[in-house]
């Protein structure tokens, strides 16, 4: 009789282990199997490169205590990534060096297509929730956020903003901002 109870207990344990394994596999995100591909810039411009001499249109230029943050768009830019049709691609230069890119699009199909392209290129996000995704790499951090916005007709629609950022130049900017703050505290 005891032998029968032991066999029954083993069966229950085996089924319990199988249940947990199958539950894990059923909820497993197979995007995590995609190998991440670190990026070092965007469309031929590497992080830290100077502004290309031709083909860029100045959008905005801001002066910060001797440093300049400027944004540009290419005059002839293909506004597509994968099957996503984009609204804009804006290039940012900090102190004359390429530092970041912001990509925008709207519409559910474009939002999904852009997120899928990011996952394919960068792998599974380091952080994600319903409307925000982040990838942290050695040379590049990437962020993608969905948000609802309203047009002039008061219609709501989904808009996506994606950003690729040079990690090393971001650290330089942060150090510079901290230095400026330290200098500023003596002004009180």
| Each residue's pLDDT expressed in tens, for the chain with a length of 188 residues | 567 777 777 776 766 555 556 555 544 444 443 344 578 899 999 999 999 989 999 999 998 878 899 999 999 999 999 999 999 999 999 999 999 999 999 888 999 999 999 999 999 898 888 789 999 988 999 999 988 766 666 666 678 899 999 999 989 888 888 888 887 777 77
The confidence score (pLDDT) of residue 19 equals: 56
Q: Can you tell me whether residue 166 is helix, strand or coil? A: strand
- CA of 24: how far to CAs of 15, 28, 137, in Å? 14, 6, 27
Helices then strands, counting H and E runs in the chain, come out as 3, 12
Instruction: Confirm if 132 and 144 have CB atoms less than 8 A apart.
Output: yes
Per-domain residue ranges of the chain:
52-185
The confidence score (pLDDT) of residue 118 equals: 93
Q: Can you tell me whether residue 128 is helix, strand or coil? A: strand
Instruction: Confirm if 125 and 111 have CB atoms less than 8 A apart.
Output: no
The confidence score (pLDDT) of residue 184 equals: 76
- CA of 23: how far to CAs of 16, 33, 174, in Å? 10, 18, 44
Task: Report d(CA 50, CA 63) in Å as an integer.
Answer: 17
The DSSP element (H or E) to which 37 belongs, if any, is: none
Task: Report d(CA 91, CA 94) in Å as an integer.
Answer: 10
Task: Report d(CA 118, CA 108) in Å as an integer.
Answer: 15
């Amino acid at each position: 009789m005891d032998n029968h109870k032991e066999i029954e207990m083993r069966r229950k344990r085996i089924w319990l282990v199988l249940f947990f394994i199958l539950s894990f596999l059923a909820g497993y995100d197979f995007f995590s199997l995609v190998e991440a591909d670190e990026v070092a810039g965007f469309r031929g411009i590497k992080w830290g490169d100077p502004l290309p001499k031709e083909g860029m249109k100045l959008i905005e230029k801001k002066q910060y205590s001797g440093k300049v943050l400027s944004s540009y768009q290419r005059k002839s830019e293909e506004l597509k990534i994968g099957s996503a049709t984009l609204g804009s691609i804006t290039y940012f230069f900090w102190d004359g060096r390429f530092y970041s890119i912001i990509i925008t699009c709207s519409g559910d199909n474009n939002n999904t297509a852009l997120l899928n392209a990011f996952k394919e290129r960068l792998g599974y996000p380091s952080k994600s929730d319903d409307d925000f995704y982040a990838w942290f790499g050695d040379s590049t951090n990437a962020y993608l956020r969905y948000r609802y916005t309203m047009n002039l007709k008061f219609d709501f629609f989904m808009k996506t903003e994606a950003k690729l950022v040079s990690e090393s130049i971001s650290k330089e900017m942060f150090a510079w901002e901290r230095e400026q703050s330290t200098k500023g505290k003596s002004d009180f």
